[in-house]
């Protein structure tokens, strides 16, 4: 009845075995009680499926959407076993984006209206396993887009500053310009943008996409990415008092605090279609250099010191936008960020200080 197959992709880019069953009603995580719970939804609100939902953005967005549209109307999915807190907070189901039939069943059985597609392998993992990145980031996106077309879903797919390359204008980078990224992650995002626009014009798909800058969150540990110094400096300020930065002091990159990021997704999902002149928009809050964020943190923690040791990530940063021109989003649907660099510093230090047993002067 059951067989073990290697299709699930972990956050580390390693295939995981999973059980499948020839009974299409079986789900490894979702039991009968959970099925009944999901069925008790509010028909006045959209039914939303989030793929890749156990990442930084998925969990935060699910929380916001559940507050607005109802706990049982927002279904998180991923290939990772959830902890008890995640299951208690709302519906969670196993979903492999490479399994077209399973996704199809989920959409039909749970009467999905909107799909938010976060499943992807990021830059570093993608470069270490390009064939896997192509399957997950491109084939998986094709599955989601085709199903959104077939069932007339509203589809949101995020993009990134990594969708630009060294020949793109960097300061500022407009919505429509040259895009020649040099990573498989960036290439897959440009592909998603263009396919979404094609499906919109060819088939009427309600495709919506935002290009995110570096996202800063106090609730997520830095992972060594090109923009992660902007998180790590806060941890270092509260622990060692010394930050070693892997970028040059003058390396300007666009950034955004996660609360603004999540709000931008909520807003773009709710904008009437007739207001959208584009299907992919830049989204922006602030741009700063390592020297500028260091100066802002040092105002609160004067003892903080910094050392600059650029590594291979400097080469990536030098090809990315320095400033995002998001005037299109601000004009077309009223986007406006709320958190600037000084507020960012206050939020991050206030959140992290108790973790390290520190007190701060605010």
Annotation marks residue 185 as catalytic: yes
Read out DSSP for 288-331?
Answer: E-HHHHHHHHHTT-TT-EEEE---THHHHHTTS-SSB--HHHHH
In 3D space, the residue among 128, 93, 118, 104 whose CA is nearest the CA of residue 14 turns out to be 128
How many Cα atoms within 13 Å fall on the side-chain side of residue 264? 31
Cα 275 from chain centre: 24
> What is the Cα–Cα distance from 256 to 175, expressed in whole angstroms?
17
- Beta carbons within 10 angstroms of residue 44's beta carbon: 8
In the set 69, 185, 229, 294, the catalytic residue is 185
Is the alpha carbon torsion for 334, 324, 132, 59 positive or negative? negative
CA distance 206 to 196: 9
CA-closest candidate to residue 186, choices 145, 127, 227: 127
Cβ neighbours of residue 71 closer than 8 Å, sequence gap 6 or more: 89, 90, 91
Active site residues: 185
């Amino acid at each position: 009845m059951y067989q073990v197959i290697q299709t699930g992709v972990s956050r580390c880019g390693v295939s995981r075995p999973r059980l499948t069953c020839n009974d299409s009603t079986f789900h490894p995580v979702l039991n009968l009680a959970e099925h009944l719970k999901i069925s008790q939804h509010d028909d006045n609100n959209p039914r939303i499926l989030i793929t890749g939902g156990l990442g930084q953005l998925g969990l935060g967005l699910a929380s916001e959407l559940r507050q607005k549209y109802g706990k049982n109307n927002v279904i998180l999915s991923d290939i990772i076993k959830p902890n008890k807190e995640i299951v208690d907070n709302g519906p969670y189901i196993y979903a492999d984006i490479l399994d077209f039939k399973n996704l199809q069943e989920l959409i039909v059985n749970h009467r999905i209206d909107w799909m938010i597609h976060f499943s992807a392998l990021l830059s570093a993992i993608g470069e270490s396993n390009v064939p896997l990145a192509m399957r997950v980031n491109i084939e998986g996106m094709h599955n989601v887009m085709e199903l959104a077309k077939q069932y007339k879903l509203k589809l949101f797919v995020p993009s990134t500053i990594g969708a630009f390359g060294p020949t793109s204008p960097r300061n500022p980078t407009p919505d429509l310009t040259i895009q020649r990224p040099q990573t498989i992650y960036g290439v897959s995002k440009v592909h998603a943008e263009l396919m979404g626009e094609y499906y919109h014009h060819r088939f009427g798909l309600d495709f919506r996409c935002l290009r995110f800058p570096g996202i800063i969150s106090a609730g997520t540990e830095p992972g060594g990415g090109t923009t992660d110094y902007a998180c790590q400096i806060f941890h270092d300020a509260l622990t060692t008092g010394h930050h070693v930065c892997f970028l040059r002091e003058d390396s300007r990159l666009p950034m955004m605090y996660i609360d603004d990021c999540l709000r931008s997704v909520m807003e773009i999902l709710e904008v009437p279609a007739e207001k959208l002149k584009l299907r992919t928009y830049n989204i922006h809050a602030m741009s700063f250099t390592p020297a500028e964020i260091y100066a802002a943190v040092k105002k609160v923690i004067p003892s903080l010191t910094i050392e600059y040791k650029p590594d291979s990530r400097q080469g990536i940063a030098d090809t990315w936008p320095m400033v995002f021109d998001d005037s299109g989003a601000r004009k077309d649907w009223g986007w406006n960020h709320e958190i600037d660099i000084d507020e960012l510093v206050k939020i991050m230090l206030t959140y992290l200080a108790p973790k390290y047993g520190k007190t701060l002067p605010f």
